[in-house]
């Protein structure tokens, strides 16, 4: 069935977390943040990473998303940040000025996009010369790692193998991303892996509540509520930790320079 990003009831699913320091440290290794005056977050969701960029010292941050419902939540989530603004748009046509941004972030976006060329071409247009492009997503290999007490996502595919095909179909492999970036004109393309801490759940029940809400996990919209209950029971039996469950996801980050 898939998540409906435009439905108001799903508007909070991408605004209730905080970017972990593992992500912040990874970005600082890839980008000289002290030289970034203007950053753009395309597919910004609820503004979690707009906040993170601002907290890292970026003076001006703009978030773009194609869901008006999610943008409204992002504005509420970031209302204390006067240097963050939001705009309705999409990855192919942001309607923003060319050669304007020092850093462009697209996190958890490209698995929703078939035409990487069009997406990357728009990013290239928006960036200043020598600007940095950070694309973060999961490859099929990232997604299908086995589940354990930190990699909770792995249990989804163990219990429901039919989700594997769905996940593979929507994910781009690393070589395709690299080749597409270079084809558009980006240089100095590198790929790194990151085990990002998604959230530390104080108790199992807190984890299960997060799962029941399908928070930030679009793949869980492919199963119904009964199957979700079955998954939670399966995870309950599979992990022995009762408190302070450190949930991590494996990501791939591609850095490119205009």
Question: What DSSP string runs through 10-32?
Answer: GTTTTTS----HHHHHHHHHHS-
Encode pLDDT of 54-72 as tens digits: 999 999 999 999 999 999 9
Average confidence score pLDDT of the chain: 92
**pLDDT tier, 18 (very low <50, low <70, confident <90, very high otherwise):** confident
* pLDDT of amino acid 10: 38
How confident is residue 216, by pLDDT bands cut at 50, 70 and 90?
A: confident
Our count of domains for the chain comes to 1
Residue 217, pLDDT score: 87
Whether residue 6 is predicted with pLDDT greater than 70 in this model: the reply is no
pLDDT tens-digit profile of 169-204? 999 999 999 999 999 999 999 999 999 999 999 999
Pick the most confident of 12-21, 28-37, 140-149, 161-170. 28-37
- Residue 95's CATH number: 3.40.50.150
Q: What is the pLDDT of residue 16?
A: 53
d(CA 233, CA 28): 39
Burial classification of residue 52, based on how many CB atoms lie within 10 Å of its CB (0-12 exposed, 13-18 middle, 19 or more buried):
buried
Whether 80 is covered by a domain: the verdict is yes
Alpha helices (H) along the chain: 21-30, 48-55, 68-77, 116-126, 140-143, 154-159, 162-170, 174-184, 204-212, 225-238
CA 53 from chain centre, in angstroms, equals 14
Report if residue 132 sits inside a domain. Answer: yes
* pLDDT at residue 235 is higher than 80: yes
Flag the least confident range among 113-117, 214-218, 248-252. Answer: 214-218
Per-residue pLDDT tens digits for 151-172 = 999 999 999 999 999 899 999 9
Q: Is residue 115 part of a domain?
A: yes
Position 156 in a domain: no
| Structural domain includes residue 92 | yes
Residues in a beta bridge with 63: 41, 86
Over residues 70-128, the pLDDT tens digits come to 999 999 999 999 999 999 999 999 999 999 999 999 999 999 999 999 999 999 999 99
Specify if 24 maps to a domain: yes
In percent, how much of the chain has pLDDT > 70? 94
* pLDDT tops 70 at residue 33: yes
The pLDDT of residue 207 is 96
Q: How confident is the model at residue 160, as a pLDDT?
A: 96
Residue span of the structural domain in which 104 resides? 8-146+167-198+251-257
Residue 16 inside a domain? The answer is yes
Residue 91 lies in a domain: yes
The 10 Å Cβ neighbour count of residue 59 is 10
Q: Which position has the higher pLDDT, 225 or 8?
A: 225
């Amino acid at each position: 069935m898939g998540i409906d990003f435009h439905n108001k009831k799903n508007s909070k699913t991408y605004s209730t977390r905080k970017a972990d320091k593992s992500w912040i440290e990874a970005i600082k290794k890839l980008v000289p943040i002290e030289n970034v005056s203007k950053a753009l977050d395309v597919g910004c969701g609820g503004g979690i990473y707009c906040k993170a960029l601002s907290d890292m010292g970026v003076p001006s941050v703009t978030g773009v998303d194609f869901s008006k419902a999610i943008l409204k939540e992002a504005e509420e989530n970031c209302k204390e940040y006067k240097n963050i603004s939001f705009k309705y748009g999409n990855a192919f046509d942001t309607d923003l000025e060319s050669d304007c941004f020092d850093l462009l972030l697209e996190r958890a976006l490209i698995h929703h996009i078939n035409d990487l060329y069009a997406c990357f071409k728009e990013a290239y247009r928006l960036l200043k010369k020598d600007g940095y492009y950070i694309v973060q997503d999961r490859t099929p290999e990232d997604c299908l790692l086995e589940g354990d007490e930190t990699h909770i996502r792995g249990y989804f595919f163990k219990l429901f193998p039919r989700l594997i095909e769905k996940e593979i179909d929507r994910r781009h492999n690393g070589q395709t991303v690299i080749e597409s970036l270079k084809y558009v004109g980006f240089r100095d393309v590198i790929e790194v892996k990151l085990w990002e801490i998604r959230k530390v759940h104080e108790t199992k029940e807190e984890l299960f509540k997060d799962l029941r809400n399908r928070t930030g996990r679009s793949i869980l919209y492919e199963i119904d509520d009964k199957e979700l209950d079955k998954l939670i029971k399966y995870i309950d039996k599979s992990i022995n930790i009762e408190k302070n469950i450190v949930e991590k996801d494996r990501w791939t980050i591609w850095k490119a320079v205009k």
